Structure 1
Amino acid sequence: MAAVAVLGALLTVTACGADTPTVPTPVTEGPDIAVDKTAPPPPVVPPRWPLTGVAADEVASRPALAVKIENPREVRPQTGLDQADVVWEQVVEGGVTRLVAVYQSQVPAEVGPIRSVRPMDPAITAPMRGIIAFSGGQPGFVAALRDAGVQTVSHDAGNAGFYRTRIRPAPSNVFGNPQAFWDQADANHQAPPPEQFAFARRAEQATVTLLGTPAGALNIAMSSYSQPGWTWDAVSGTWLRSESGTAATAASGARLAASNVVALRVDLVDSGTRDPAGSVVPETRLVGTGEAVVATGGKVLTVTWTKSGVGDPLVLTTADGQVVKLAPGATWVELVPNGTGSVTPG
C-alpha cells in the first residue's frame, strides 16, 4: 500500500507539470517606419563627353587628340573636321588661318591635311593634357609644347600614323590615322581630358539661349584673306559655317557646323621668328583676359574671357560674373585679332 501511494504521488506531480503553461519569450518590436511607396527613384545621370557635354551610355577612356589642320582655299574641303569636338581657328603668316581640331568623342578614319605647329598651340592644347599630332614646326615651338606637358606625335620625328597622298602636292599632302596617334599615348597622356567649357544639360538651358540677343548670323573677319561666317539653322539646331560666303563642308560632304561659336578678341603679336619664306610668324596671346562673343541657339551674347596660365582652361563669364554654360555639342573657337579683325552679328 505504501508503494502504491508513492507511485500515485509521482503520477500526480508529473501530470501537474504537463499542465503548466509555457511562458512565451517577449518580442521587442521597433518603431513603425513609414515607407513612401509613391516616391520616384533617384534620377540616373548619364555620363557626358568632356569636350562636348553630350550625354552618352559610355564615355571612352581615351585622351584628347589635337591635330594641326591646314586651311587655305586650295586645300578645302579638309578631311575629318566634321567629327571634331572642338576646333580652334588661328591666324598665321600672310593672314591665312590654321586649325587645331580636337578629337575625343569620335574616331575619324582619316584627318588632314596636317601641317606645322605655331607658338599659341601650347596654350590651346595644354589644358587638355593630351596629344598633338603635326607635321613640321620650329624647334622652339615643339619644345614649348613638351614643356607645357603635351605629348607630341610628329611626322618629322618619324612617329607612326602619318602618310602622304596623291590628291594634293607637298607640303599639303600629309594625312593621318587618328587611332594610330592614340595608340602612341604614353602613360602620362592616356586619361580623358578635363572639361574645357561649362555645359548646360540641354540646349535650351544654355546661358546665351537664356540671356542672348536673337541673331541669324555671325560674320567674322580674321584677316583680309580669311572671313568665315556662321548662319543659324533652326532645323539642325546648329550654326553652319561658310568661308567667304561659300558653304564650308568636310571631304565627306557634311556641312561644317557647331552648336557653339566662341569668338575671342585677342592680341596678335610678332613671335620674333620667321617662316622659311622670311614672313613674320604671328603669335596669339591667350593668357590674360578680353572680350568675347558667344553664339548659341540662334542668339549671341558679349561676355568676358579669362585664361590664367598656359595650362589653365579658358573661362567665359557674363557681365555679372556668372560662368557661361554652352549648349551640348561641338564648339568652334575663333581667335579674332584686335584692331584688324571684327565680329559682327547679323
Structure 2
Amino acid sequence: MKKWIAVLAAAMVITAGCSSKETEKKEATEHKEKQVEVDEVVAPEELPYQFPLTGVGTDEESSDRAVAVVVNNHPKARPQSGLNNADIVHEVLAEGDVTRFVAIFQSEQPEKVGPVRSAREYFIGLASGFDSFFIAHGYSPEAKDMLERGVIDNINGMQYDGTLFKRADFRKAPHNSYITYENIVKGAEKKGYELDKAPAPAVFLSSEEAEGLEGTPAEEFMVKYGSPSFDLIYEYDAEQQKYHRFNGSEESVDLESKDHILLDNILVVQMDHRIIDNAGRREIDMKSGGKGYLFQKGKVNEIQWKNEAGRIVPYKDGARAGFVPGKTWINIVPSISDVSFDSQP
C-alpha cells in the first residue's frame, strides 16, 4: 500500500508485535483481482426514479422503509457481513477507542448482516433521521429506556436471541450475533411495524456536477480513532472512481462474497464527545453542527455540518453540498485534527 498503509502498519508492529507490509500488499492486490466488476452507476437523470439514499437511478419507484442495524467493529468481528449493501454507514465511537457502525439499508437488502451489537442513545438518533426500523443486540441504560418508550420502531437481540437473531459458531459472543433480512421482515411483522414507506431523499449532484467537482486533491487520507486497530485509511481508485476502505491496515471486505466496500462519498465530521459513566460510555453532541471534510472523486472540501431532522448534512459556502450518487460513509470524530491527508495545509 502507499504512505498511510505504511504508517498504520508500523503502528500495528509497535503495539501488537505483528506484521508484514509486503504480505498486506500482496493480499490487497489479490483482493482487487478477485473483486467482482462494479456495475456502472447510471446517471439519475437517465431513469425515471432514484433511490432516495444513493441517488442511483432505478426503473421503479422505491417504497421500502430504511432499516438501521448496529454492526460490531471489534477486530474479532471482522470482516463483517452485509456492509457492502448499505446505502449509508455511520462510524462512531462506543467505549474506549472502539468504533461501531450504524448501517442504513434501503436500496439493497443484505441476505445477512452482522455481527449485530448493542445500541447507544446516539445510535438511535442517527437511525431516527431516516425513520428507520432499528436493529440492535443489547443496549446501554439510556438506549434501553428510549427503546422501551417506543422512540423508534425496533427489535432487539435481547428479546429474540436464538429466534430472529442467530449465533454463529465460528465466532464467540459478543461477536457472533447475526440477523437475516428475512428475519428483519419477520420481526417487523411480529411487532406490527410497516416497512413500505421510503425515507425522504438526500441531495445529489447531477452527472455533470459530479464530474466537474473541484477541491483539494485527496486520493489517500487517514482517520484516527486512537488505536491502530481502529484507525482508517481511505484510498481512491481512479479507474473505479470510488474509495477503498482499510481498517487496521486490512481492506474492508464482505465476509461471504469477499467484495470490497467501495464508497462514493466520505463525510468526516467533528462532534464534541464526553465520557458520562464509569463504563466509559459517551455523550456525543450530534445537534450543534461544526467542522468537517467531504471526500468525493479523489478530492476534498472543507464543510460545515448541520443536523437536519436527525441527519448529518454537509454545507459548503452556506449552501447544502450534494452527494455523488452512490454509497456514503460518515466518520464521526472527536477532533477534525484526527484527519490527515497530504495536501492538508
TM-score bracket, normalised by the shorter chain, equals 0.7 to 0.9
Cross-structure match for 1:323: 320
Secondary structure class of the residue paired with 1:249? coil
1:146: Cα distance to partner? 6.3
Consecutive unaligned residues of structure 1, counting only runs of 5 or more, are: 1-42
The Cα offsets for residues 107-146 of structure 1, whole Å up to 9 and x where unpaired, read as 1111111110112112211111121111001242133256
Secondary structure class of the residue paired with 2:213? helix
| 2:329 is the alignment partner of 1:332 | yes
Contact 1:218–1:295 (8 Å) recurs in 2: no
1:263: Cα distance to partner? 0.3
Q: 1:187 to 1:98 in 2, by over 3 A?
A: closer
Distance of 1:138 and 1:244 partners within structure 2: 26
Secondary structure class of the residue paired with 2:112? coil
**Which protein shows a greater Rg?**
1
Distance of 1:152 and 1:172 partners within structure 2: 20
Cross-structure match for 1:108: 110
1:68: Cα distance to partner? 0.7
Matches within 5 A, 1:57-206: 57-145=59-147, 149-158=151-160, 161-185=164-188, 186-187=192-193, 190-195=196-201, 197-202=202-207, 204-206=208-210
Cross-structure match for 1:12: none
Q: RMSD across aligned C-alpha pairs, in angstroms? A: 2.1
The Cα offsets for residues 237-296 of structure 1, whole Å up to 9 and x where unpaired, read as 1100001322221112111121000000111112x345xxxx211232111110110000
Cross-structure match for 2:338: 342
| 2:249 is the alignment partner of 1:249 | no
Question: Of 223, 228, 231, which residue of structure 2 is paired with 1:220?
Answer: 223
Letter in 2 for 1:164: R
Secondary structure class of the residue paired with 1:82? helix
Identity score, percent? 27
Letter in 2 for 1:318: K
Distance of 2:151 and 2:52 partners within structure 1: 19
1:214: Cα distance to partner? 1.6
Secondary structure class of the residue paired with 2:272? strand
Cross-structure match for 2:297: 297
The Cα offsets for residues 37-92 of structure 1, whole Å up to 9 and x where unpaired, read as xxxxxx87521111111111114322111111111112211111111111110111
Secondary structure class of the residue paired with 2:319? coil
The Cα offsets for residues 183-220 of structure 1, whole Å up to 9 and x where unpaired, read as 4434565411112x311132x5139x523112211210
1:170: Cα distance to partner? 1.2
Q: 1:265 to 1:44 in 2, by over 3 A?
A: closer
Question: Of 312, 315, 327, which residue of structure 2 is paired with 1:314?
Answer: 312
Letter in 1 for 2:313: V
Structure richer in helix, relative to its length: 2
Distance of 1:60 and 1:337 partners within structure 2: 36
| Ranges of 4+ aligned residues in structure 1 off by more than 6 Å | none
Distance of 1:187 and 1:135 partners within structure 2: 18
Distance of 2:193 and 2:253 partners within structure 1: 36
Cross-structure match for 1:21: none
Distance of 1:158 and 1:282 partners within structure 2: 27
